[in-house]
Amino acid sequence: MSVRLEEDFERFKRGLSPDFADHVREAYRIDLRASYLGMPLPHPIGKGSGQLSLNAGQLEEDAAGGLAFVVLKTVIAEDEGGAQSMAAWAIHETRMKVERLAAPDGRMGWTVTWKGRGWDRSLDEYLALVRAGREIMARTGMPIVPSVKYHLPRIGEPFREHEYRHTTERLAAAWGDPPVPIEIDFSPTLAGDALSDDRAQVLRWLREVPGYVRSAAPGAVRLAVKLMNARFDDAFQREMLETTAGADALVVFNRLFDGERGVAFGGWELSDRNLRVLEAGRRSVALVGTGNVCSGRVLLEYALRGCESVQLHTFFQLPLSEYPAVQGSRTQRALHSLVFDPREGLIAGMLALERAGRLARHGGELRFLDLVPDAH
Ligand SMILES: Cc1cc2nc3c(=O)[nH]c(=O)nc-3n(C[C@H](O)[C@H](O)[C@H](O)COP(=O)(O)O)c2cc1C
């Protein structure tokens, strides 16, 4: 197996086929099938919401590259008149900087430094992207999911239901056949905002926001809640996990926030914190990992803590010289490294878990979802 893996790793440097998961099943008897929001996936690696899912061209390239799913950039909710209570998040900023970042323990990782926030064009333009995504999804089978930031009131203030209703109804209409999958974003810039200084206020959002989205489109939505890393301790992070009500899946957890520099960041400090919190967290709802997934090994750490798939951003943005592959899109090069790296990749990691007696074959196959405790 390891000889074969070395050969595949070398061979696929010049191009990875989009149906590589079929090859993995045949050649290694490893079934990589995974799941996101109840949708079956050929393997667990998708793209998180952000600057890499802003237009149809990016979606086409990801589908052609064999990515498992894509979450669109986060749009800011609005009411019938176009009023956005969270308008401060709809700001325009294009410059991103991909930087090396040392974790507190010295391990070097990568982060993307960026001062922007949510989708900065109109809701109509976003809906056009959703419709284009639906067409690509129908043609290629790759799920494409919208993401929304809804109104978040201060304690004692009511939720602006008009914004919830209008945005959700329009998304559902653009999507077509119900249910429409929606990711609700609680972002790191929100974690860094004075709005989030009050723990009771944050917990109220997590208890109530999914219910407002559901009542806007009864029976017609499937909801993932993407939780922020609050600027409190691990115990509060676990409380957030336990408090969130009415979600079909939780995406855990968005980037850390550096209050001094006023920017979100990732790297090893992010994955260490996320994995630590998940280690002791609940597993009563499907989980999706996010944060510094930069190798198959890190992906497996998320899976072993309950994540049925993962969504990446930073690893799709590295300088080309950082990927072992020499041809193909960044998506293909990233997948090649994540899956086929003979030491750090997903296949190598699953074979190592088998050797350690932590993963057994069924009908001759190792199955990714067998790693996930209580996979839904
Ligand atoms: C430049 C940039 C923009 C992002 N924008 C969004 C966003 O609009 N909505 C969202 O839910 N997450 C957003 N994210 C978070 C990513 O989707 C991802 O969850 C996070 O960066 C952790 O994964 P990573 O370490 O692989 O980057 C953004 C991340 C980056 C780096």
Q: Per-residue pLDDT tens for 254-276?
A: 999 998 998 999 999 999 999 99
**Ligand 1 contact, 118 CB (< 6 A):** yes
- Residue 312 alpha carbon to ligand 1 centre in Å: 8
Place of tokens 């609680």: 186
Q: What is the pLDDT of residues 126-170, one digit of tens each?
A: 999 999 999 999 999 999 999 999 999 998 899 999 999 999 999
* Mutation test residue for ligand 1: of 49, 115, 185, 186, the one with most atoms within 8 Å of CB: 49
Indicate the average pLDDT of the chain. Answer: 95
For the cut 90, the answer to whether the pLDDT of residue 177 exceeds it is: yes
Region 318-328: mean pLDDT is 97
User: What's the pLDDT band for 376 if we cut at 50, 70, 90?
Assistant: low
pLDDT beyond 90 at 20: yes
Q: What is the mean pLDDT of residues 69-79?
A: 97
pLDDT higher than 90, residue 58: yes
Mutation test residue for ligand 1: of 254, 265, 287, 298, the one with most atoms within 8 Å of CB: 254
Nearest CA to ligand 1 atom 14: 50
* Residue 281: predicted pLDDT: 65
Atom of ligand 1 nearest to the CA of 294: 26
In this predicted structure, what is the pLDDT of residue 16? 96
Q: Does the beta carbon of 291 lie inside 6 Å of ligand 1?
A: yes
313 lines ligand 1 (CB under 6 A): yes
- Substitution site in 313, 322, 330, 335 for ligand 1 pocket (most atoms within 8 Å of beta carbon): 313
pTM of the model: 0.97
pLDDT at 282: 61
Structure-token pair, residue 177: 């056949």
